[in-house]
Structure 1
Amino acid sequence: MEIVKHPESRQLVRTVKASAYVFEDQNSKRLMSYIAQIAPSEATVLIIGETGTGKELVARQIHALSSRKNKPFVAVNCGALSDTLAEAELFGHERGAFTGAISNQVGWFEAAQGGTIFLDEIGDLSPSIQVKLLRILQENEVVRLGSRQTKKIDVRVIAATNIKLEEAVYAGNFREDLYFRLKVASLHILPLRLRIGDILPLAQHFIEDYSRSLKRPVPILSEEAERLLCDYHWPGNIRELENAIHHALLICKNGIIQSYDFQLTGFKHKLSLHDADLSIYQPAGQNLKQILFEWFEQGIEDLNEQLEAEITEAAYQYCHENQLHTAKLLGVSRNIIRARLIKHGLLSPNTRASTVS
C-alpha cells in the first residue's frame, strides 16, 4: 500500500500500488510491445479492461517508459470522488471556497505537475467535471475552486474504464468530445481467462510474495491445482487469483497446494466465440475449432443461431461498435447488421442509428 500525502493538506490518500507486473502470455507480450510504442509520446491514453486486470500496472508502465518517469505519478480513483468534492480534489480550491476550506490546497492535477495523472473509473465523473476535464486537456490549465486565476500545468493524462464509454456517450452520461480526446491512444487489457499463459507465472509470483510475508517455506502447486488455475474462469481477474493464492498458503499442508485449498467455485469456464476475442492480437483459429468441438459434444440446439449471435457480437466489438464498419467486415448491409444486433440483444431497438453506434 502506497501512502501519498496531498500537498498543502494533512489528508492522507491511500492508493493500491501495482504489485504483480507479470505478462508472459503471448497476447500480453504483444500488448507490452504496443505500450513501448506509445509510452514515449505525450498522447493521452485510454485503458479499457475488466476490474482487476491490471490497468494501473499498465498506466505505471507507460509512465515509466516516458520522459516523465522521474516526475510524479498520481493515481486517482474517480469512482471514490463524490460530486461535491470531485472538483476540489482534482483541481484544488482556495481558502473560503466552501465551508471547511480553511486554507489553499492544490488539486491532484497540480500535484502531478510535470508527470502523469491516472484517472481510474473515468466513466464515473459527473457531466460538470467532464466539462472542466475537457478544458484542461485542451488548454493545459486549471482553475481552483473559488478562484478566477488560471494555472498552467504540464500533465499527461491516462484514463481507465471497465465500462463501455460508447454506450455512456449514447445514453448522454459521457461527453463525446471528451471520449475522443481521451482515446488518442487506446489499449484493451484482456481478462485473465484469455491470458492463460499469465496464470501460472502470476500464481508463482504471489506464492513467493506471500510466503515471504508469512515467513514460510515456498510451497509447490500440485498438477491438479495447476489444472484448476488454468481452467477457472477468474471473474475477479488478477485480484481474485491473488486472494485465492493467499488463502491457499494459509491452509495448505506438507508444502503442497492442492486444488481444494483455493476454495474456488470449481466450475470450468464454458468457452464462447466472445472469449476467443477475435479483436485482440492474434488469429483465433485453434480456439475457434476447440469451441466448436465443445459445442458439438454438448449438442447445442439452434447452432446456426448461436454462431450468428457470437460472430455478430465479435465483429461488432472488433469494429468498436461501429455498425457501418461491422457491416463491411461481414459483407452484409448495415440494415442487416442492425437487425441482427437487435435480434441478439446487442442493441436496443430505440438506439438511434449512427456511424459510431
Structure 2
Amino acid sequence: MSGKTTKDEPWEGFTKAILESISDGVFTVNREWMITSFNRAAEQITGISRDQALGRPCWEVLRSSMCQSQCALGYTLESGKPVIGKACYIIDSQGGRIPISVSTAMLRNSRGELVGGAETFRDLSEVERLRLELKGGLSTGNLVSHSPAMQKVLQIIPAVAASSSTVLILGETGTGKELAAKTIHSLGSKKDAPFVPVNCGALPDTLLESELFGYKAGAFTGAERDRPGRFAQAGNGTLFLDEIGEVSQALQIRLLRVLQEKAYDPLGSSRPEKTNARIITATNRDLEEMVRQKLFRQDLYYRINIVRIELPPLRHRKEDIPHLAQHFVDRFNRLQRKEVQGLTPEAVSLCMAYDWPGNIRELENIIERAFVLCSRGKIGIEHLPAELTLKDTEIPADFQTAKHILEARSIEKALEQTGNNKTRAARLLGMHKSTLHRKLKKLNIHTP
C-alpha cells in the first residue's frame, strides 16, 4: 500500500481497508442507483459476490422489503437526512429471507457534490433466532415453530442432517415435508451439492423409471441421445423421493437395489452406474399398513425407515398459525407489491378455530385468495372463504350476528384447547387478555 489516497474514491487506501474489516455489510451507489462498491461482509451476508453486484441496480442485488415503496437510501438522497437502524429484510442468493437493520448516508466528493449514497446493513439473524426462543419459538434452518409438537421435530433435525442415513418423512398432505427435506439437506455436509426433488405420484411407472435412472440413446423410440436421470443429477447431493407410497412394486425392487448396492442401470444400458446421493423419502400414506396388505415391500420399507420424522398436522400446532399467516402475508406483499399489514384479530380467531385439513398449503392458498380481495390494510373476516366461517345454511342475514357467532365459536374452541386458561387462550387468539374478558362478557360466554 502506497499510503496515497484519493478523496473522490472512497474505496482507496485506509478507507477501503477499514470497510473490508468490519462485520457490517456496506455498499455505495451512484446517482443512477448502480452499485459502485460492495464490501466483504456484504458478500457474506447476501451470498452475492462483489463481481456479481458491481454495476447492477441495488434493488436487484439486495431485494429488500423496502425497495418498492420505502427505500431508506432514496429517502436520504431526497431529504438529506440519514436513516439509522431501520429494520427490514433482504432476499439472499439462495432465496432465503435475512432480517437486517439499515443505516444510510449521502456520498459526496471532495468538492461537496452529491455523487450517490452509502448504505450499511447488519445481519440480525441471530438476534431474530434469540427473539423467537424468548417468545417460545424455535428455529432450525428455514423451519420455525412455536408449537411444542413441532419443536420436538426441530430439535432432532440437526442430528439427522449430520448423519448420512436414509430418512423417511411422514405427514399429511401440505404439512411441509419437502421443506423439512430441504432443511436436512441444507444443514448437512452435502449442502453445496444439488437437492433434487421427485414427486413419485405425479408420473406413471414407465416415465418415473426413466426420470429416476435416465436412459441411453436408442433405449426406446424417440430416445435420440443419452439423458441423465435424477440420480445422476443429484450426484453427491440429496435425492428427495416424495410420495414414495405411490411407487409400484416393480419399481420398488429397483429402488431397493439402489439403496443396497448404491448402483442403478439407466434404461438401455448394460453397465451399472454408481450413485453417492443421500436418499430422503416422504409420504402421506400409512406404509406399515401398506406392508401388511402387501402393497409395499417390507424390505424396502426397512431400508427407507432408518430415520423417521413425523410432521404434525397444522391442527395440532395451532400456535404457529398467526406466524405462518404473517409469513405468507409478507411473501405475497413482495410478490404482488402490495402493502397488506396482516390479519385482524377476528380473522386470526377464525383461523385458530379451523381444523385445516389441507394444512400449511391450505393456509397459504387462503392467504393468497385474500390478497385478491384485500390490497391494503388488514385481512378481515370478509376476505376469508366460507369454509372458515359458516356453512351456507348457517349464515345469518345480519353480518354483525354472523361475526358474533364466529367470534364465540373461536373463543370457545381456544378455551377448550387451553383448559379454560384465559391467558393462554388470549395468546392463541392473538388478542390481549383484557380484550378476551370484554368479548366473554359481550358474547355471554360463561367459563368455569
Query: Is TM (by shorter chain) over 0.5?
Result: yes
Give the structure 1 partner of residue 300 of structure 2.
178
User: How do 1:199-348 and structure 2 match up within 5 A?
Assistant: 199-252=321-374, 255-266=377-388
3-state SS of paired residue (1:219) = strand
Measured against aligned partners, the alpha-carbon deviations of 1:306-356 in whole angstroms (never above 9, x if no partner) come to: xxxxxxxxxxxxxxxxxxxxxxxxxxxxxxxxxxxxxxxxxxxxxxxxxxx
* Residues 63 and 73, structure 1, Cα contact 8 Å, conserved in 2: yes
What's the counterpart of residue 49 of structure 1? 171
Moved over 3 A (4+): 17-22, 286-290
Q: Distance in 1 between matches of 2:222 and 2:212?
A: 17
Question: Quick one: distance in 2 between partners of 1:35 and 1:238?
Answer: 19
Unaligned runs of 5+ in 1: 1-16, 269-285, 291-357
Contact 1:117-1:156 within 8 A present in 2 as well: yes
| 2: CA distance, partners of 1:106 / 1:48 | 29
More strand by share: 2
Following superposition, the deviation at residue 198 of structure 1 comes to: 1.1
- Structure 1 residues 253 and 131: alpha-carbon distance in aligned structure 2, compared to 1, 3 A threshold: closer
Measured against aligned partners, the alpha-carbon deviations of 1:183-210 in whole angstroms (never above 9, x if no partner) come to: 1000100111111111110000111111
1:181 Cα deviation after fit: 0.5
84, 101, 107: which is aligned to 2:206?
84
Asked if structure 2 preserves the Cα contact closer than 8 Å seen for 1:18 and 1:56, the reply is no
Q: Deviation of residue 256 (structure 1)? A: 2.2
**Within 2, Cα distance between the matches of 1:253 and 1:79?**
36
Residue 260 of structure 1: how far off its partner (Å): 2.8
Give SS of 1:106's match.
Answer: coil
Q: How far apart in 2 are the matches of 1:168 and 1:267? A: 37
Q: Is the 8 A contact 2:340 2:375 kept in 1?
A: no
Q: Who is 2:254 aligned against? A: 132
Of stretches 166-175 and 153-162 in structure 1, the one that deviates more from structure 2 is 166-175
Contact 1:49 1:161 in 2 (8 A): yes
Which residue matches 2:182?
60
Using the aligned pairs only, state the percent identity. 46
1:288 offset after TM fit, Å?
9.6
Count how many residue pairs are aligned between Structure 1 and Structure 2: 257
| Counterpart in the other structure of 2:69 | none
AA aligned to 2:317 is: R
Aligned to 2:243: 121
**1:175: Cα distance to partner?**
0.4
Q: Deviations over 1:125-144 (max 9, x none)?
A: 11111001000000001111
Q: 1:18 to 1:217 in 2, by over 3 A?
A: closer
Contact 1:91 1:107 in 2 (8 A): yes
Select the residue among 27, 51, 63 that pairs with 2:149: 27
Matched, 1:93 2:215: yes
Q: Which has the larger displacement, 210-219 or 232-241?
A: 210-219
Query: In structure 2, the residue corresponding to 1:218 is in which secondary structure?
Result: strand
Q: 1: CA distance between counterparts of 2:195 and 2:357?
A: 29
* 1:199–1:230 CA contact under 8 A, matched in 2: yes
Once the two structures are overlaid, the 10-residue window that deviates more, 249-258 or 63-72, is 249-258
Q: Does 1:167 align with 2:256?
A: no
1:289 shift after superposition? 6.2
8 Å CA contact retained: 1:18, 1:57: no
Cα distance per residue 1:10-61 (max 9 Å; x no partner): xxxxxxx999744232222221111111111010000000000000000000
8 Å CA contact 2:245, 2:285 repeated in 1: yes
Cα distance in structure 2, aligned partners of 1:245 and 1:254: 13
Q: Tell me, which stretches of 5 or more residues in structure 2 are unaligned?
A: 1-94, 98-141, 391-415, 421-448
Counterparts of 1:266 and 1:212, CA distance in 2: 25
> Aligned in 2, Cα 1:54/1:210: closer, same or farther, shift over 3 Å?
same
Distance 1:91 1:163 in 2: 24
Check the 8 A contact 1:244/1:264 in 2, yes or no. Answer: no
Q: CA offsets per residue over residues 259-305 of structure 1, 9 Å max, x none?
A: 2311141369xxxxxxxxxxxxxxxxx95968xxxxxxxxxxxxxxx
Superposition CA RMSD, Å: 2.1
Q: TM-score, normalised by structure 1?
A: 0.68
Q: Provide the residue aligned with 2:226 in structure 1.
A: 104
Q: Does 1 or 2 have the higher relative contact order (CA < 8 Å, sep 6+)?
A: 1
Equivalents in 2 of 1:208, 1:141: separation in Å? Answer: 44
Offset from partner CA, 1:81-138 (integer Å, 9 cap, x none): 2112221111111111111111111111111010000000001111111001000000
Equivalent position SS for 2:145: coil
Q: 1:139 to 1:216 in 2, by over 3 A?
A: same
